Structure 1
Amino acid sequence: MAAPGHVPAEAVALAHRLGIEEPQYGGSVLLRQTGRLRSDAKARWMRFKARQHIAVDRCAFAWRAGVGPLGLIHVEDALDGATPIGRVAALGMIPLARSEYSVPLLKGELMRYLAELPWAPDAILANSELQWEAQGERRLAVSATIDAIGATVIFHLDETGLPVRVEGRRPRQEGGVFHEREWHGEFGDFRTIEARLVPHVGKVSWRIEAERVDVWHGRLAAWAITGPKR
């Protein structure tokens, strides 16, 4: 396959290592996850089960989870066009928290899309909104812009060339105010599904005042890609 004009050779090589030769265009990744999450170091861990949709030809996703005992707390985290969404509700109906539109929220959701590209590897070649830059032998930066709001994350590759770590400075809401903090993700247990090499475990952490705090541990329960090929 000829490399798309907007994708440098290093990113094309990453896509190939993840099993992408002819990506699906206009498709979506559909996945299910289980795991645990918390808001900060002082909060208790809560179990979750989640379903997620990730677009491969544009920067968009929707993550919906049932959290806590019996999954009675419903959490939604999403990016739809230029609209970032953050909602928490009890029983799916009683609002507990809702994030209004803001530039930091949009940047944060765009960063989440970029950081989760290992779960949607077709997007490396199929999403023309992405800008890639090689930063040495084992570092790849990827950026995107929505409504003049830009976001960037950096992937660190292991000795086999797999994206095992990702990092960036992401806005974090603290007491109603957003602060940019170091944000880290880790991927592991790569397995082949539908000819793609997809990580089956992940971890997310923040660095808050010199302390690195894990806030999300997840495991892939199901993965599929749908949509027409070009």
Structure 2
Amino acid sequence: MKTSFIVVVVAALAFLSITALGRWRWQGMTQGLVDRVEAGRTPMGTTRFDAVELDGLPPVVQRYFRTVLPEGTPIITGASVEHKGGFNMGEAGDNWKPFTSRQRVVMRRPGFVWDARIAMLPGLTVNVHDAYVEGEGILHPAILGLFSLMELRGTGEMAQGELMRFFAEAAWYPTALLPSQGVQWTGLDEHSATATMSDGPLTLSLTFTFSADGLIDVVRAEARGRTVGGQIVMRPWEGRWSNYQMRDGMRIPVTGEVAWLLPPEEGGRKPYWRGTIADLTYDFATTATGK
């Protein structure tokens, strides 16, 4: 009996040590990525929103900006976001697990680091880095932050997919969608428009659909790289944004769902991220140069 107790105690202490080591190692890796994103900052030419720059934009896009941005709103240069929600770990079916995450975002040069903790079992987490850093896309999940499940990095399809994520999430930092920030808008109909942005050699376009009250409802890409069995397969993809609230004078969505739009033989629409913003702070061009 005494021997069994000692074995349990030793095993528990070993697990706690591994967990602490993994947390320390992961935090260091996260900070390294964030430092790279921050080092890539470039000056913002415009510091405040001037409605004059909306002249010539499609009416549905003008309506959106007038709805979410008061005249004179400072241009957002960076943001720190905390999320909570569920992540679907099932590749074929559904296997939703709770997650919490922190995300650091810089608007120019565009980049972000998403640092998530997905609870697989009590006491067992998978840490995930999903990032766009200096033109490189990164996806790295690791059990307890120590044991890598995969590590994908690249400047081609991988980078394009991560830049799409940055672009689709810009509803959280709406000044990043202004023409003065390099976004070109083309109207499609009275409810939707195509937005195009570039970073280095990458240029991409997403379709934005707006609700009846003028807010971004759906953002869609016709082809984004989905990781299946360690390989990247191009599939349609969308983000749906809702529950708009006021943050620092701007209207932003605090709830979202992201899904792959798969063909029927692969299961059809497959949501894999559902989350809510738990906390959000901005850096503004008039008040901060970075952190």
User: When the two structures are superposed, what TM-score results if normalisation uses the length of structure 1?
Assistant: 0.89
151, 167, 174: which one aligns with 1:121 = 174
State, as a whole percentage, how many aligned pairs show the same letter: 23
Matching of residues 31-180 of structure 1 within 5 Å: 31-39=81-89, 40-68=91-119, 69=121, 70=123, 72-125=125-178, 128-168=181-221, 169-180=223-234
- 1:8: which partner in 2? 57
- 2:5: which partner in 1? none
- 2:72: which partner in 1? 22
Q: Is the 8 A contact 1:85 1:99 kept in 2?
A: yes
Q: Is the 8 A contact 1:49 1:71 kept in 2?
A: no
Q: Is the 8 A contact 1:7 1:125 kept in 2?
A: no
- 1:217: which partner in 2? 274
SS of 1:21's equivalent in the other structure is coil
Q: 1 CA distance for matches of 2:113 and 2:71?
A: 26
Structure 2: unaligned runs, 5 residues or longer = 1-49
**CA deviation map 1:123-149 (0-9, x unaligned):** 122763322222221112112223423
**CA deviation map 1:32-80 (0-9, x unaligned):** 1100112434251111001112223442222111111457211111112
Q: Is the 8 A contact 1:167 1:184 kept in 2?
A: yes
What amino acid sits opposite 2:57 in the alignment? P
What amino acid sits opposite 2:65 in the alignment? A
How many residue pairs were aligned?
230
What amino acid sits opposite 2:141 in the alignment? V
- 2:258: which partner in 1? 204
**Higher RCO (CA 8 Å, separation ≥ 6 residues):** 1
Q: 1 CA distance for matches of 2:96 and 2:65?
A: 34
Q: 2 CA distance for matches of 1:6 and 1:28?
A: 26
285, 288, 291: which one aligns with 1:228 = 285
What amino acid sits opposite 1:16 in the alignment? R
What amino acid sits opposite 2:196 in the alignment? S
Q: Residue 94 of structure 1: CA displacement?
A: 2.9
Greater per-residue helix proportion: 2
User: When the two structures are superposed, what TM-score results if normalisation uses the length of structure 2?
Assistant: 0.72
- 1:186: which partner in 2? 240
Greater per-residue strand proportion: 1
Structure 1: unaligned runs, 5 residues or longer = none
What amino acid sits opposite 1:15 in the alignment? F
What amino acid sits opposite 1:32 in the alignment? E
